[in-house]
């Protein structure tokens, strides 16, 4: 499989990096911690204006008509800036509605998502919480072996305390009806889980890349015993190992995204591989960043903790590494009772 990016995909990634770096400095992430709700509607509207909210929405509904692969590229850049808005969840919801929804559901929700009028969240099978705050409009939720798209007016929401207040969680009890059922989802609820896992893996790659780059810059400047800390072999080894792990997993997420988009039978296993490896690679970057900063990165005054906490939250989101490794083992060896 040729996993190199096309010129259009490279252009999308570069444009996303430039825009998000300007749009989402650390100060905006901090402000999301203190706001009544994490979603800044003005910032959300700007994401719509440049087409990022509609990147996976078909062109006839106001989007760009791209696939999971382009979404992975966009989410890596969102991870680099620790974007506080639920871009991951909204885009995954849009893809799922586009693939499995009725004409009425597609026409109702997709143009509104692309225009920035709707904030969506998701709750795949086996996920106890949803990313949500006071400004979400709909949820794509797994109920038994089906998926439903449920407006917030039909949901009971119980918020939870979290350590990353720019990524808030809640237990949602959605009132499902025949009108909320995505008709193409019967027996395919696991598609939402695979899609969310790949999206989270791509975001983790971006978070890890930022942590490595920031830490490299820091150890070049910080001196100890009259030398830059970055000149010490132990520091070099830590950061180079984290960098290599991230470089290894990045194309893995592209492959998994392609398999999900194409409906491959191997999509679920590829998603499990991508998410488990991305979680471990980001963890290596997370641990190295904190150690090489000498602890200052975990203080409130230093911005690094915003990425450290986002990374820790996403390591566990949409399937832990242990859960995904169990899925991989089951795919290879079958059930233990076989």
Buried b (16+ CB within 10 A) or exposed e, 188-217: bbbbbbbbbbbbbbbbbbbbbbbbbebbbe
176 is a domain residue: no
**pLDDT band for position 94 (cuts 50, 70, 90):** very high
2 is a domain residue: no
Q: Is the pLDDT of residue 337 over 60?
A: no
252 is a domain residue: yes
114 is a domain residue: no
What are 112-147's pLDDT values in tens digits? 999 999 999 999 998 989 998 667 899 999 998 999
27 is a domain residue: no
pLDDT of res. 294? 85
45 is a domain residue: no
The whole-angstrom separation of Cα 225 and Cα 232 is: 11
Domain count, the chain: 1
The whole-angstrom separation of Cα 25 and Cα 35 is: 16
* Residue percentage of the chain with pLDDT more than 70: 97
What are 278-334's pLDDT values in tens digits? 999 999 999 999 998 887 887 989 999 999 999 999 999 999 999 999 999 999 988
Nearest of 150, 253, 250, 170 to residue 208 by alpha carbon: 250
113 is a domain residue: no
**For the whole model, what pTM was predicted?**
0.95
The domain that holds 321 is classified in CATH as 1.20.140.10
Residue 336 C-alpha from the chain's centroid? 32
Q: Is the pLDDT of residue 108 over 70?
A: yes
Tally of CA atoms within 13 A in the half-sphere of 319 that contains its CB? 31
What are 244-267's pLDDT values in tens digits? 999 999 999 999 999 999 999 999
280 is a domain residue: yes
Q: Is the pLDDT of residue 230 over 70?
A: no
pLDDT of res. 1? 59
pLDDT of res. 52? 96
Residues with Cβ within 8 Å of 32's Cβ and at least 6 positions away in sequence, in order, are: 38, 40, 84, 165, 166
Q: Two tokens at 287? A: 């641990």
What are 204-217's pLDDT values in tens digits? 999 999 999 999 99
Domain range for 288 is 190-332
Q: Is the pLDDT of residue 338 over 60?
A: no
Give the C-alpha distances (Å, rounded to integers) separating 42 from 23, 48, 53, 146. 11, 10, 13, 34
């Amino acid at each position: 499989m040729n996993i190199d990016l096309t010129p259009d995909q490279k252009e999308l990634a570069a444009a996303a990096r430039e825009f998000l770096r300007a749009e989402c400095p650390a100060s905006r992430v901090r402000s999301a911690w203190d706001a009544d709700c994490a979603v800044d509607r003005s910032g959300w509207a700007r994401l719509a204006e440049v087409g990022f909210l509609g990147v996976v929405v078909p062109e006839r509904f106001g989007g760009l008509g791209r696939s999971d692969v382009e979404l992975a590229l966009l989410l890596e850049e969102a991870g680099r800036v620790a974007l506080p808005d639920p871009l991951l969840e909204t885009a995954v919801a849009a893809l799922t509605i586009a693939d499995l929804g009725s004409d009425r559901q597609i026409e109702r929700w997709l143009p509104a998502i692309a225009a920035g009028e709707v904030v969506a969240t998701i709750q795949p099978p086996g996920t106890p919480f949803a990313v949500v705050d006071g400004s979400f409009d709909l949820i794509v939720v797994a109920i038994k072996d089906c998926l439903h798209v449920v407006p917030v007016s039909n949901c009971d929401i119980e918020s939870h305390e979290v350590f990353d207040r720019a990524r808030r969680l809640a237990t949602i009890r959605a009132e499902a009806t025949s009108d909320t059922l995505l008709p193409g989802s019967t027996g395919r609820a696991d598609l939402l889980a695979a899609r969310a896992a790949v999206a989270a893996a791509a975001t983790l790659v971006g978070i890890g890349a930022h942590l490595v780059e920031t830490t490299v810059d820091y150890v070049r400047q910080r001196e100890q015993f009259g030398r830059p800390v970055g000149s010490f072999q132990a520091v070099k080894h830590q950061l180079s190992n984290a960098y290599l792990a991230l470089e290894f997993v990045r194309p893995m997420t592209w492959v998994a995204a392609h398999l999900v988009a194409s409906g491959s039978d191997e999509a679920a296993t590829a998603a499990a591989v991508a998410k488990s490896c991305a979680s471990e690679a980001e963890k290596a970057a997370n641990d190295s960043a904190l150690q090489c900063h000498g602890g200052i990165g975990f203080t409130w005054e230093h911005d690094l903790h915003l990425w450290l906490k986002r990374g820790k939250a996403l390591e566990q989101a949409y399937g832990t590494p242990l859960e995904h490794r169990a899925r991989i083992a089951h795919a290879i060896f079958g059930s233990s009772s076989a």
